């Protein structure tokens, strides 16, 4: 059984993430989307919300599951018996960091990183940019699933109202 992990913070999940998960699910027997839950002040959504949105977004795949992980991704891979990490590569700017990370992870445990080139229509798409554009009133409805868009607008309203936690 070939298993792979698609890691990230998914704050929130975008259509670009779903594209990579879709393609990973066709390449591997089983895919675990691993949501990093390490503490960070810069996240808009809680770990529970991010996991819930991914579960909803991945409902249509029968070989994809979602899990939270804290600490090192390589430790998670060892615990799960997973030997492949799938990452999307958007542009050359992603490459330096991703190469370094892939080599570091390979040096820590027996894991191979598989890079999947982003579909051109998503090459500019990043969760951070989606949040920033939405925060200033831009229309990001075509960049995330509809239910994520709704939750994003609600969350940003809450944050503006002072309930930022
Ligand atoms: P991180 O928490 O690593 O900054 P994200 O949660 O934003 O990353 O994304 C997780 C992973 O999903 C990225 O490392 C990348 O492999 C992939 N990814 C993100 N955005 C896109 C996109 N637009 N197209 C393809 N893959 C993407």
Atom 9 of ligand 1: nearest residue by CA position: 8
CA angle, residues 148, 12, 61, in degrees to nearest 5 = 70
Please report the pLDDT score of residue 26 as a whole number: 97
Q: Is the pLDDT of residue 67 over 80?
A: yes
Report yes or no: 15 and 53 within 8 Å, Cβ to Cβ.
no
Is the Cβ atom of 12 under 6 angstroms away from ligand 1? Answer: no
Please report the pLDDT score of residue 135 as a whole number: 94
The catalytic site residues sit at 17, 41, 90, 127
Is the Cβ atom of 76 under 6 angstroms away from ligand 1? Answer: no
Cα of 165 from ligand 1 centre, angstroms: 24
Is the Cβ atom of 119 under 6 angstroms away from ligand 1? Answer: no
pLDDT digits (tens, 9 = 90+) for 144-158: 999 999 999 999 999
Please report the pLDDT score of residue 138 as a whole number: 97
Q: What is the pTM assigned to this prediction?
A: 0.94
* Percentage of residues of the chain with pLDDT beyond 90: 90
**What average pLDDT does the structure give for the chain?**
95
Please report the pLDDT score of residue 8 as a whole number: 96
Distance CA(13)–CA(3), nearest Å, equals: 21
Looking only at the bridges linking them, the beta strands covering 30-36 and 112-117 are unpaired
Please report the pLDDT score of residue 106 as a whole number: 97
pLDDT digits (tens, 9 = 90+) for 8-66: 999 999 999 999 999 999 999 999 999 999 877 689 999 999 999 999 999 999 999 99
pLDDT classification of 137: cutoffs 50, 70, 90:
very high
Please report the pLDDT score of residue 93 as a whole number: 84
Please report the pLDDT score of residue 163 as a whole number: 58
* Percentage of residues of the chain with pLDDT beyond 70: 98
Look up residue 62 and give its two tokens: 């029968």
Residue 138's φ and ψ, nearest 5 degrees, are -75, 155
């Amino acid at each position: 059984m070939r298993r792979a992990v698609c890691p990230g913070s998914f704050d929130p999940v975008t259509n670009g993430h779903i594209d990579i998960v879709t393609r990973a699910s066709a390449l591997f027997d089983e895919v675990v989307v691993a949501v990093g839950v390490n503490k960070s002040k810069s996240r808009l959504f809680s770990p529970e919300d991010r996991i819930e949105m991914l579960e909803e977004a991945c409902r249509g795949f029968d070989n994809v599951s979602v899990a939270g992980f804290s600490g090192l991704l390589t430790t998670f891979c060892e615990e799960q018996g997973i030997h492949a990490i799938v990452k999307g590569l958007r542009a050359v700017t992603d490459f330096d960091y991703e190469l370094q990370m892939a080599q570091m992870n390979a040096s820590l445990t027996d894991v191979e990183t598989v890079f999947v080139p982003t579909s051109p229509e998503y090459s500019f798409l990043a969760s951070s940019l989606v949040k920033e554009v939405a925060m200033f009133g831009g229309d990001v409805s075509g960049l995330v699933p509809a239910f994520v868009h709704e939750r994003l607008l609600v969350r940003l309203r809450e944050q503006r109202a002072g309930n930022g936690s």
